[in-house]
Structures are given as C-alpha cells and as structure tokens.
Amino acid sequence: MSARAGILVTGTEVLDGRVRDRNGPWLADRLRELGVELAYVTIVGDRPQDMERALRFMAEQGVDLVLTSGGLGPTADDLTAEVVGRFQGREPVLDEALAERIETIVSPLRKRWPNLDPEAIRVGTHKQATVPVGATVLEPVGTAPGLVVPPGARAGGPTVVVLPGPPRELQPMWSAAIETDALREAIAGATVYEQRTLRLFGIPESEIAETLRQAEREGIELQRLEVTTCLKRGEIEIVTRYEPDGASVYDELERLVSERHADTLFSTDGDTVDAQVAQMLRERRWTIGVAESCTGGELTARLTSPAGASEYVQGGMVVYANDAKVALAGVDRKLIDEHGAVSEPLARALAQGARARMAADVGVGVTGVAGPGGGTERKPVGLVWLSVAGPEGASITRSVSLPGSRADIRDRAGTVSLHMVRRLLLGESDG
C-alpha cells in the first residue's frame, strides 16, 4: 500500500464559506504527483479542540503525513503551530534568529504606517517565531514561516507539514517542504500511480454505469483500477488511477468505452473541450467572437482561459438589453419584436452579428432565460438558444433546457456552446 496522507484546512472563514478553499485541491494534486494516496480532506474552524480532533482522527486511521493550511498569522486566533506542536508532543520555543528574520520582513510596515504599536508588532513577531522543538522551519514567503513537524512523544504517528493559508505563500513554500528529510521519510512508501481521464458529452451517468458492468462481464479486472465517474459542467468525466502494472487493464477499459460511446467520447487524454477548441482554432488560424446574453460573459471567459487565447479570441459582448443587441450586435429590431429575445432567430442573429462586428471567422450567439423569476410557461427558466456561425454559411443552432441555478445554467450553456464550436470546427453544419 502506498504512503497515505490527509489534508487539514483551518479557518472559520473557509468553514462557513466566506473564503473558498483553494489549497486543498492544489495540495491534492501535489500529493498525487508524489505517488501519495490522499485519504481525507477536512475543514475546521479556528477552534483548537476541533483541530486536535481532526489530527487525532487522521492519526488513528494510520496516515503517514498530514498537511495543514492556515492559522499561522500573528493574531490570537492563529493557533495551528501551537496545536500541532502540542499534538506531536513537542514543546514550543522561541527561535530568536527566525524572529529577527520576520522583523526584517515586517519592518517596511513601520515606515508605511508610523503610528503602528511597536510592542504589538514585537508580540506578533515572537508568536510567529515560536515553533515546536525539533521542527524544520520553512522560510516565510509572506511573514509566516511554515513547519515540518515529525512525531515526538507520539512516535509512529504522522509527520505534520504546517503551511500558511494564502495560496500565494503556500504554493512556493511547498517546494521547500518536499525537500526536507522529515517529509521524504514520511512518504518513503509512496507508489507511482498512473492517472488517465476520459471525457464524454451528451450521455447520462447511467450509461457509464452499464459500461462498467459490461467490463466486468467481459472479464476486465476492474478491481485493479480505481475508477471514478462524475458529472461535471454537463460532461461525464471518468478518472482512472492505477499502478503501472495495471496499464493493460486500463487499455481494455478504454477500448470498451471507445467502442460503446464512440459518438460521445471526445477526449481520451484528459484535454478539456476548452483546450481542444483553442487548439483547433490555432491550427486553422481562425478567430472567434461572441455575443452572449443570459450567460453574462461566461463563454468569453472560458474561451480566453487557455494559454495564448489572444491569438484567436477577437472579443465578446454581453448584450442583455434589446437596445444593446441592436446597437452592439447588429440585430434587426423587427426580429426581436417578431420572435422575442429568447428564440432561434435571435441566437442566429447574435452569432452572425458577433462574426460580422468582430471580423471573426466564427461567431457564437447565446440567449436564454437564466432566471430566477424571468421565465414564462412558453419560455421557462433554463431555456437557452445557442448558435454558431462559420465561413461559407456553416452554422449549428440548438436549444437546450438546463436545470439548476443561474450559475449552473450559465456554466452548462458555456459547455454546450463550446461543444457546438468544436463540431463546427470538425466540419459539421446544419446547412
């Protein structure tokens, strides 16, 4: 069995949702790269007893490594280093040299705000420089040092890596953490895993469940693979992890999925539709422009997210008001009066308008009812019309009825739009 780890995210602001946890997913990826099996991710508030319970639980489950994030600041509620030291049975001690280094880091604050209380700064600095005996100090990226704390009185327990909360500080500090002897010793049993991702669009999860049952009937040894399926952004994602000697088993699974779902499987190497569209536009040296209403800029944001987007994205316009559709996208007002703002003709006009106004090879138009409270019986919340227009009259236009909140509808409409662009780039057209 590979080395196992847990992630403990601290902070009441994360627990109650005021701040989104970005560290847990990032650290999970780093553990996977090291071949360490992630067993648990826990979020707790700034309460010492809850931190200790979470640490105790992970230790009882036999994890080799725990990564914590947050709680390393100078204020009274930043208690992670103290709690971890106590849990590991290591006494706290002031590191005078570390205190001097932190003093140097915070000294510009005194020049910027001359009225700051120097005693308060000294107390805060000493708090951050008080570390468990025997811990390896990770030099501050901001003002907070990190720590690698091996088990002391709790011999045989996990090594705990204490990292700051801000991602801009945590991420560069991780590079230093993985070079420490204590961390490397803790994960000495790490196994190198392979991980592959298949992506499908236009298929329910129940079909994938049947495919996995078919794999078992065909004698494919699925027990040698860790297969996870989930619905994400309107697509099915099949993520499979396996040890190197399971590669032939995975190949058999991929073959079966490819055979059964040839018309919906669009990625066998993990590439997203966003990345595929970007690459196809680059290869053709085509440009794209967008006119979107109910999605509020979601599609434009996704088109510009891959690296090098400026090469092919001419721009995007968000046109909610009918006057904006006319003035910016060049839509004929009579078309709006006759068919309404959420209709097939309007989606086509927006796509053609985006293409013409931005001098783009491909234009995309999106119009719909994202809600809440904006729908009618004939045009309910979730109804979205989408159209893609390309050179020589090529076009694809569709309507979809999408469930969920406004954010869900925007996100899924963006996914459908990108798949329509992909199809047009592959040569498909309604006429």
Phi, psi of 6 (to 5 degrees): -125, 155
| Number of alpha carbons in the 13 Å side-chain half-sphere of residue 257 | 28
User: What's the confidence (pLDDT) of residue 258?
Assistant: 97
For 376, the token pair is 């009618």
Residue 22 phi/psi, 5° resolution? Answer: -105, -15
Quote the DSSP letter at residue 155: T
- Cα torsion 336, 340, 345, 350: sign: positive
* CA pair distance 319, 183, nearest whole angstrom: 53
* Predicted pLDDT at 375: 67
Of 10-14, 167-171, 280-284, 378-382, the poorest mean pLDDT is in 378-382
130-132 and 92-94 strand pairing? antiparallel
pLDDT tens column, 299-308: 999 999 887 7
Q: Quick check: helix, strand or coil at residue 179?
A: coil
User: What 3 state SS string does 254-297 have?
Assistant: HHHHHHHCCCCEEECCCCCHHHHHHHHHHHHCCCEEEEECCCCC
Instruction: Enumerate the domain spans of the chain.
Output: 4-186, 194-267, 273-425
Q: Classify domain 4-186 at the CATH class level.
A: alpha beta
d(CA 229, CA 208): 8
CA–CA separation, 12 and 147 (whole Å): 21
Looking only at the bridges linking them, the beta strands covering 136-138 and 146-149 are antiparallel
Q: What is the pLDDT of residue 178?
A: 96
Q: Would you state the structure tokens that stand for residue 87, as one six-digit string?
A: 């849990």
Mean pLDDT of 407-431: 94
388: pLDDT strictly greater than 70:
yes
Give pLDDT, residue 377. 73
Place of tokens 């002897």: 181
CATH of 194-267, one of 3.40.50.300, 3.60.20.10, 3.30.1330.10, 3.30.70.2860: 3.30.70.2860
Taking residues 153-174, report their average pLDDT: 90
Please list the alpha-helical segments (H only) found in 287-405.
298-303, 322-329, 333-339, 344-357
Provide the pLDDT confidence category of residue 337 given band limits of 50, 70 and 90: very high
**171 — pLDDT class (breaks 50, 70, 90):** very high
Q: Band the pLDDT of 111: cuts 50, 70, 90.
A: confident
**Which stretch of DSSP H or E encloses residue 399?**
strand 395-401
Structure tokens at 25: 């997913």
- According to DSSP H, which parts of 61-178 are helical? 80-87, 96-112, 118-128, 167-177
Closest CA to 315 of 332, 328, 334: 328
Q: Enter the pTM of the model.
A: 0.82
pLDDT for 1 equals: 65
Q: Which fold has domain 273-425?
A: Maf protein (3.90.950)
Contact 113, 119 (CB under 8 A): no
The mean pLDDT value for 228-252 works out to: 93
Sole residue written with tokens 């536009």 = 281
